[in-house]
Amino acid sequence: MADTKVRIPSMPVESKARNKDTMTDGAPKLSRQELVRLLNEDLSREYQAIIAYVVYSQVLKGAAYMKIATELERHAKEELEHALTVARQIDYLGGQPTVTPKPVKSSEDAEEILHFDLANENETVRNYQERVRQCESLGEYGMAERIREILAQEQEHQIDLATALGNDVAEVTSQEERA
């Protein structure tokens, strides 16, 4: 019996090669300096949250708000831990942690205060979801895990506030990010 070689035609393979200057989703890969800038924005938002939670927890009045006021005090302490973690990551990257908070909105209306807070948490969750991807794109997997831990607590804050307002938790991830 003669040796016969069977040739299997090759199927075209779709190339998933990417430019080294882009992330897997096609977005431009950022530098460590840009990550420091973005983390400093996050740190400013954490300072804002600390101030807001301290003030809001003390000015919410009435039986309907006593439980959420206590919860906001707990959130203030957690936000301080987040600020320390983010500042540590900025220092690790060779940056200087900012000392400036984002502006804090104020109101005499309890429900409006909770809406301000929920909007801030929604923005924070959206930003930290992006930060996790950015850290991973730079190979900073440990940093991504620290940010994930913060993100989990921020999502709990989102749930607490949405529940206090009788709302569902808003979807803050875009369709492209979920794909």
What's the chain's Rg over C-alpha atoms?
22
What is the DSSP annotation of 33-61?
HHHHHHHHHHHHHHHHHHHHHHHHHHH--
**Closest to 117 in 3D by CA, of 64, 53, 39, 28:** 53
Domain boundaries, the chain: 32-166
CATH architecture type of domain 32-166:
Up-down Bundle (1.20)
Q: Is 72 exposed, middle or buried (0-12, 13-18, 19+ CB in 10 A)?
A: buried
Looking at residue 170, its pLDDT comes to 73
**Closest to 89 in 3D by CA, of 139, 130, 39:** 39
| C-beta of residue 93 within 8 angstroms of C-beta of residue 144 | no
Q: pLDDT tens digits for the chain (179 residues)?
A: 455 444 444 433 333 334 455 555 555 579 999 999 999 999 999 999 999 999 999 999 989 999 999 999 999 999 999 999 999 999 999 999 999 999 999 999 999 999 999 999 999 999 999 999 999 999 999 999 999 999 999 999 999 999 999 998 876 655 555 44
**Closest to 24 in 3D by CA, of 166, 169, 177:** 177
| C-beta of residue 70 within 8 angstroms of C-beta of residue 57 | yes
Q: What pTM does this model have?
A: 0.81
Cβ contacts of 129 within 8 Å, gap of 6 or more: 151, 172, 173, 177
